[in-house]
Each structure stands twice: as structure tokens, then as C-alpha cells.
Structure 1
């Protein structure tokens, strides 16, 4: 059984993330969407909420699981027996950011990173855009699941 890990902050999970996870599942027996800690980011949603939203978004995709980690990604991969890391790319800028991480992860453990090009109909969607649109009262329903849209609205209302 081949296992791949699809890591991200998922703040919030978007339909683009769901697309990449679904297509990764066609390549691997098991895909674990892992809500990872990123010290460079200050998420709007707490880890538990992000995990719950990812579980909701992936509920209809057989062979896709959701987990969280605050360890190094490669350590998490070793722990669950993953043979690959999957990253979705929207464009060249994403590749420029992801390539050094892929090389470092391979250097540390030998684990390979597989890049999947995002669906062109979803390529403009980024969690940061979703948060910004919502913060300015815009409609984020076309970009996220209903549960994610609600969670973002509630988190923004709490922030004031």
C-alpha cells in the first residue's frame, strides 16, 4: 500500500486543496491530508477547526484521511510510512517556493515530493485570498465548503 502526505496549513481548506487530494488519491492507495504547524504563519482558525473542516471536505473521498502534526513533516511521513509528499502547484511562483522544501525533505530522509498541477478552474484560489475576501465582507462560498465558509465568518466575527 502506497501512502502519500498532502501537507498544508489549510486556513481554511479550499476547493483547490480538495481537488489536489482527490487527484493524489488516484495515484496513491492512501492520502493523508496533514494540517501542519507553520511557525511563519498566524492562522485565523485553530488546529482543531482546520482538522474538522478538512475531515468534512474529504468525507466523500475514499482513501483520504486527515491528521495534524506539529513535528517536522518528514518525521510525520516516517511515522505513518508515507513514501511521498504531494504538493499542489497553481503556477511557477508555487514551484519556486516548493522546490527548495522538496530538495531538503529528500536530503533529510529520501522521501520524494510529487507536484500536481492544480485545476486551472481553481488555480486562482488561495486560503489567504479567501480570508481577505471574507474579512472585507465578500462571498467565499465559491471557493470553500459551506462548513469552511461558516467557520471563517465566525472566526472573523470573534476577532472583531
Structure 2
């Protein structure tokens, strides 16, 4: 069965990696769908985020990475994906995801949504907090896969922001 795990992944964190690893064990194929999300004003540009995610996902033979723009439901229908994977860290995430679930089911009734709780060791990590660490020149290595901090440092993907490795 094909599942899609979507996100802005700005940046891709150990929490995202946790959900990816576990979903790749559950589903025969997983598409890691990188959303452009211009309204979120990402710190890392779309092309670099997509490349970083590809590097992080390269260890999983049943995972592919695809960038997308527009509505997620359109992406799911174009790929014939029957499952949407969402990670949840806490009750606030769960409440938000339940609201999204109702909207997705209204737009695509055949869609199944699987919510995976983050593993306890990464449940506190969010991209928002990691971006704050980046903005304050902090060390992001405890929160992201090595490929992320390496790529951000080598490619200076965050305009006006230095990444300390």
C-alpha cells in the first residue's frame, strides 16, 4: 500500500526521521512529500529542503521523495495514495490533526489517515524550535540528522544565518 508523509520539513528533524522510519516499516511504499509552503516563509528554500530530505531518506529503499505545490489532496489523488501519514508530538498536535483529518476525509472520502505518535526521545523537537536555534546561531546537531546540519553548513541555505556545526 502506498502512503504519503507530507510536510514542509523546514528543516527536516530527528522527529521527522522517526516518523519516516516507522512508516517505512508499516507501508510497502512511502512518498515523503515536501511542500513548498510559501505562506510559512521557510528558512530553507524549497529546492534545498527537497535535496536535504532526499539525502535523509536515501537509506530507505521503499521511500521516494517528491516536491509538491498546491493542495495535498490533489497530490494524493494524482499518486493514487490511499494513506496519509501524520506525526503527532502532543495533545495540541492531536487536536489540530483531528481537525485536518475531518477536512481531508470530506475532500477525499476514501483516504485513510494514520497518526503516529513521536517516540518519547524526539517528541519535544519541532521545526519551529530548530529554526529558532538556527536564527540564534545555536547548535542544531542534537535535533536534526547529520545530513541536515552538514548540508545547511556547506550550502549556506539560510540567507543571513550562519549554521554552527
TM bin, normalised by shorter chain, reads over 0.9
Which residue does the alignment assign to 1:69?
A: 68
Q: Return the alpha-carbon distance in structure 2 between the equivalents of residues 47 and 11 of structure 1.
A: 9
Q: Which sections of structure 1, spanning at least 5 residues, go unmatched? A: none
Which residue does the alignment assign to 2:141?
A: 141
2:154 is the alignment partner of 1:129: no
Q: Return the alpha-carbon distance in structure 2 between the equivalents of residues 104 and 135 of structure 1.
A: 34
Aligned residues of 1:12 and 1:152 also touching (Cα < 8 A): no
Which residue does the alignment assign to 2:157?
A: 155
Which residue does the alignment assign to 1:49?
A: 48
Which residue does the alignment assign to 1:27?
A: 26
Give the secondary structure class of the aligned counterpart of 2:93.
helix
Show CA shifts across 1:63-98 (max 9, x none): 011001112111101111111100000010111111
Count the aligned residue pairs: 158
In the superposition, the TM-score normalised over structure 2's length comes to 0.90
Q: Which sections of structure 2, spanning at least 5 residues, go unmatched? A: none
Show CA shifts across 1:84-123 (max 9, x none): 1000000101111111111111111111211000010000
Aligned residues of 1:134 and 1:152 also touching (Cα < 8 A): no
Give the secondary structure class of the aligned counterpart of 1:159.
coil
Aligned residues of 2:134 and 2:140 also touching (Cα < 8 A): yes
Q: Return the alpha-carbon distance in structure 2 between the equivalents of residues 86 and 119 of structure 1.
A: 15
> What does 1:73-92 correspond to in 2, within 5 Å?
73-92=72-91
Which residue does the alignment assign to 1:115?
A: 115
Give the secondary structure class of the aligned counterpart of 1:99.
helix
* Shift of residue 155, structure 1, vs aligned partner: 3.2
Q: Return the alpha-carbon distance in structure 1 between the equivalents of residues 17 and 66 of structure 2.
A: 15
Give the secondary structure class of the aligned counterpart of 1:13.
coil
Which residue does the alignment assign to 1:36?
A: 35
Give the secondary structure class of the aligned counterpart of 2:99.
helix
Give the secondary structure class of the aligned counterpart of 1:65.
strand
